[in-house]
Amino acid sequence: MVDGVGVDRSPGALRQVLIPLALAQFICSFAGTNMNVMITDMSKDLDTTVQGIQIAITIFLLVMAAFMIPGGKLTDKLGRKRCFTMGLMIYGVGALMSAAAPGLGVLIVGNSILEGVGTALLIPPVYILTTMLFTDLTSRARAFGVISGMGGIGAATGPLIGGVITTAVSWRLAFVFQAGVIAVIVVLGRRIIDPVPADPTRSFDTVGAILSAAGLVLLIAGILAADNSAVAMVVLLVAGGLVLTWFFLYVRARERAGKEPLLSLRLFRNHTSNIGLITQNVQWLLLMGTSFVVSVFLQVVRGYNAIQTGVIFTAATLGILASSLVQARLAKMFRQRTLIATGFVITIAGIGVLLALVGDADNSAWAFAPGLLLIGLGLGGMLTPSVNVVQSAFPDAQQGEISGLSRSVSNLGSCLGTAIAGTILVSQLTEHAYAASMIVLAAIGLVGLVAAMFLPADAAQSAPSD
């Protein structure tokens, strides 16, 4: 079945398009966690510290968060497929540069900057194209289930694959692996046809892009400065808040003047979407925060190598995979709100198990498995409903904006997870610091649970029309 713009919407054709989109989400999520198990090896090889690698990881996540909104907006002007391809190319160059990095500086340019910018360009099209190509709610929910599931699996298998590669050969090969997957996606992505033509005449709010990016950078820099200087932390946090306030005032003035802003404030008038964005932020904060804290604790405090650490994270991978496989069936049986709230309850329980079972230093590393399994089950069960709730709250005309905002909020959560929990842990690297980090994550999980309870009962039960 081919529509008026030449898009084949038959089930077989849509499945072929879904493969490169899901792989793109997989490799970007993989990149966010695979370095966690390589911290010891990388810090020695690059002559830096654990904190240095943490900064590189956080900058990568921050660049994604800061440029995701501009990336989503550019899809309207340049086209969704073009942005997708450009992002893949930039990401691939960054991965190869990271593989050959002689020091931390080059690693930050390749991994943190280029891979981050590449991700910000390619991820919004993934969600926009999915929303536009899969027009009915059932097929859209199934497609988002595949993509979100691959994202969760990528984040969960990052430690395992990274650990195997690092122990067997070198951490550098992990970046070559990323570049190889990118090459496969480029080839498979040739089948994608943009359902809506690009509009080169659309304006792009450069000032808004700079202000939003600067505000986010200052906020995260303030969190990272917490263990070095309280004064610097406060100054950076206040500065970030002021710049973001300036951004929203600027956007409002631009909108009132009849000009197209980077981000329409109308997006924030949707109650369902606002709550869904909160749950997305907390979900990725928990996933990335737990991954970083447990990985560093096992390697630095307990002395496990990369592959041992990665194998332990198999429990989380299995949990996410199991939840993803039954996602379509669960969506038919339960409301989106129920799935999200239940996911938070299971995830918080998993964090509690981690705290209860690993307090004794004599316990084996496998004591982490039950808690990680529960966390995987919980997160895997609510990633898809949260995405579907947000994306389905808006018509096609606003998919560029909401997709950029949604991915930015999710990646900001990833960044905050590594920055907040990681800063607490790295400041001392002891059993007590580990416990403090996990307690903070559990408390944030409770915030997500409370937010989920305020979602409308019929959230995402019907998709809006233009």
Please give the chain's pLDDT, 466 residues, in tens. 555 456 666 777 788 889 999 999 999 888 877 887 788 889 889 998 877 887 888 788 778 777 888 887 888 888 899 999 999 999 999 999 999 999 999 999 999 999 999 998 998 899 888 878 887 666 776 787 788 778 777 877 787 788 888 888 899 999 999 999 999 999 999 888 888 888 888 888 889 989 988 988 888 778 767 666 778 888 998 999 999 999 999 999 998 888 888 888 888 888 888 999 999 999 988 988 888 888 778 877 777 777 777 778 888 888 887 887 777 677 778 888 899 999 999 999 999 998 887 655 556 667 888 999 999 999 888 888 888 888 777 776 676 677 767 777 877 787 777 777 766 766 565 667 778 888 889 999 999 999 999 988 776 554 444 4
Do residue 114 and residue 214 come from a single domain? no
21 within a domain of the structure (yes/no): yes
Distance CA 320, CA 331 (A): 16
The last residue of one of the domains, among 222, 241, 261, is 261
Do residue 141 and residue 243 come from a single domain? no
Do residue 268 and residue 374 come from a single domain? yes
Distance CA 26, CA 4 (A): 31
The last residue of one of the domains, among 261, 278, 298, is 261
Do residue 246 and residue 269 come from a single domain? no
Res 266: pLDDT: 82
Q: Exposed e or buried b for every residue in 401-425, given b needs 16+ CB within 10 A?
A: bbbbbbbbbbbbbbbbbbbbbbbbb
Do residue 362 and residue 388 come from a single domain? yes
Q: With H, G, I as helix, E, B as strand and everything else as coil, classify residue 2.
A: strand
Do residue 18 and residue 80 come from a single domain? yes
Res 2: pLDDT: 52
Question: Residue 285: how many CB atoms within 10 A of its CB?
Answer: 26
Distance CA 33, CA 450 (A): 27
Res 462: pLDDT: 43
- Identify the CATH number of the domain in which residue 424 sits: 1.20.1250.20
382 within a domain of the structure (yes/no): yes
Res 145: pLDDT: 74
343 within a domain of the structure (yes/no): yes
Q: Supply the mean pLDDT for the chain.
A: 83
Nearby residues of 425 by Cβ (< 8 Å), 6 or more positions away: 292, 293, 296, 297, 433, 434, 436, 437
Distance CA 115, CA 33 (A): 13
Residue/partner pairs of 176-180 with CB below 8 Å, 24 or more apart = 176/95, 176/96, 176/99, 178/27, 178/30, 178/31, 178/91, 178/95, 178/115, 179/92, 179/95, 179/96, 179/99
Do residue 284 and residue 154 come from a single domain? yes
User: Could you list the residue range(s) of the whole structural domain that residue 124 is in?
Assistant: 11-193+262-453
143 within a domain of the structure (yes/no): yes
Q: Which two structure tokens, joined as six digits, stand for 251?
A: 């956007």
Do residue 286 and residue 211 come from a single domain? no
96 within a domain of the structure (yes/no): yes
Number of domains in the chain: 2
Res 244: pLDDT: 92
The last residue of one of the domains, among 242, 261, 280, is 261
Do residue 292 and residue 152 come from a single domain? yes
Distance CA 375, CA 341 (A): 13
Do residue 343 and residue 437 come from a single domain? yes
Q: Exposed e or buried b for every residue in 243-271, given b needs 16+ CB within 10 A?
A: bbeebbebbeebeeeeeebbbbeebeebe
Do residue 107 and residue 95 come from a single domain? yes
CA distances from 352 to 152, 173, 373, 424 (A): 21, 35, 12, 18
Distance CA 354, CA 135 (A): 41
Distance CA 451, CA 442 (A): 14
416 within a domain of the structure (yes/no): yes
Q: Where are the beta strands (DSSP E) in 123-246?
A: none
Q: With H, G, I as helix, E, B as strand and everything else as coil, classify residue 8.
A: strand
Distance CA 351, CA 340 (A): 17
200 within a domain of the structure (yes/no): no
466 within a domain of the structure (yes/no): no
DSSP string, 105-128: HHHIIIIIIIIHHHHHHHHHHHHH
CB-CB contact of 72 with 403 (8 Å): yes
Do residue 325 and residue 433 come from a single domain? yes
Res 466: pLDDT: 41
Question: Residue 458: how many CB atoms within 10 A of its CB?
Answer: 11
